[in-house]
Amino acid sequence: MSCPFCAIPAERIIDRNESGFVIRDGFPVSQGHTLIIPYRHIGSFFELSKPERDDLFDLLDQAKLVLDREFKPNAYNIGINDGPAAGQTVPHLHIHLIPRFEGDMADPRGGVRYVIPSKAKYWKDE
């Protein structure tokens, strides 16, 4: 099976550094949904070297600045699906940077906790 992230066309890459690159998600959950991807084909965040991790976080910071200017989101979700049990469908590490906008959900509380919906709501409504 070929890896879609190892064969990204150059025209899709919007930023890069020594360890990775940035693209817009092909199936965005919000306007501007962005992926930060290492060049090295690894499956897990925990396989990154320290320099690779630093480089990817630099790209994450830069991508956020671009999204702030372009889309002016109110907030962000940052996520990694690390392993099939966590929902990873492409076995090449990638970091999701998902812009969030006021009103895009009726009640966004719980955020990433909704990966297991029955565990998401931990607060009491008054």
Just list the catalytic residues.
94
Q: Strand pairing partners for 100?
A: 75
Which distant-in-sequence residues (6+ apart) come within 8 Å of 78 by Cβ? 60, 95, 96, 97, 98
What is the strand order of the sheet 20-24 is part of? 15-16, 20-24, 34-38, 95-100, 75-79
Residue type, 26: G
